Amino acid sequence: MSSAEKCPRTEAISALVDDELADPARAALDAHVQGCAICAPVLAEFRQLHTTFAALPDVTPNVDFAFLVDRRIAAAGVPTPKPKPQRWRWWQLAPATLGGALSLSLGVYLGGTLMLGSQITAQPAALQMAAFTAIPPGALCPALQACNSMGR
């Protein structure tokens, strides 16, 4: 069994090496490790591993992927990203609805004002049609009943 497997604080020591341990816990662990025969070798091994990783040679690609990727996108006709169609939201119609309602109200108001200004008053339909009867306006009635039936 390795020392890391024996140590109950492996997780915390790993976080200590990564500098991801908050300060009170960090100080407490530092103090503990100095006097612990199980934890001290684990910390040393993890730090050694970190150093060896840092010594890994850097890897640099010998091609320009930007060029290769762009060529593939163009050649294969990979579709250009298009923003998702926006979801319909009811409140997006609010300005149009408000505008429509205002226009309608204004139309009714202006119409009413014009009607009042021209002093036109509604007449009964029978009176309006009286102009088209056989008896011209102002002529004598042939019989009183006939005049009454026409509203004269």
Partner 1 sequence: MLARDGPDEDWVRRAQTGDRKAFSELVRRHQKSVYRYLLRMLSSHDDAMELTQEAFIKAWQALPQWRPEAQFRTWLFRIANNAAFDALRHRKLIEFVPLEDSFDAPGSEPDPAHQAQVTQEVRQLDVSLKKLAPEHRQILLLREVEEMSYEEIGSVLSLNEGTVKSRLARARAALIEIRARSRS
Note the residues at the interface with partner 1 (CB under 8 A): 2, 4-5, 10-11, 13-15, 18, 20, 45-46, 49-50, 52-61, 63-70, 72-74, 78-84
Task: For partner 1, give the closer residue by CB, 73 or 129.
Answer: 73
When the beta carbons of 47 and 152 are compared against partner 1, the nearer one is 47
Euclidean distance between CA atoms 152 and 147, whole angstroms: 5
- Shortest distance, CB of residue 86 to partner 1, whole angstroms? 12
Residue with token string 């008053």? 121
Q: How far is the CB of 88 from partner 1 (least distance, A)?
A: 18
Check if the beta carbon of residue 9 is closer than 8 Å to that of residue 25: no
Q: Smallest gap, in angstroms, from Cβ of residue 105 to partner 1? A: 42
Rounded CA separation 52/1 (Å): 22
* Shortest distance, position 53 Cβ to partner 1, whole Å: 4
The whole-angstrom separation of Cα 88 and Cα 113 is 39
Distances 106 to 7, 84, 93, 99, 112 between C-alpha atoms, Å: 83, 39, 20, 11, 10
For partner 1, the closer of residues 64 and 116 by Cβ is: 64
Closer CB to partner 1, 58 or 124, in the complex: 58
Least distance CB 52 / partner 1 (angstroms): 5
Backbone torsions φ then ψ of 85, nearest 5 degrees: -60, 135
78 vs 106 by CB, closer to partner 1: 78
* Cβ–Cβ < 8 Å for 42, 7: yes
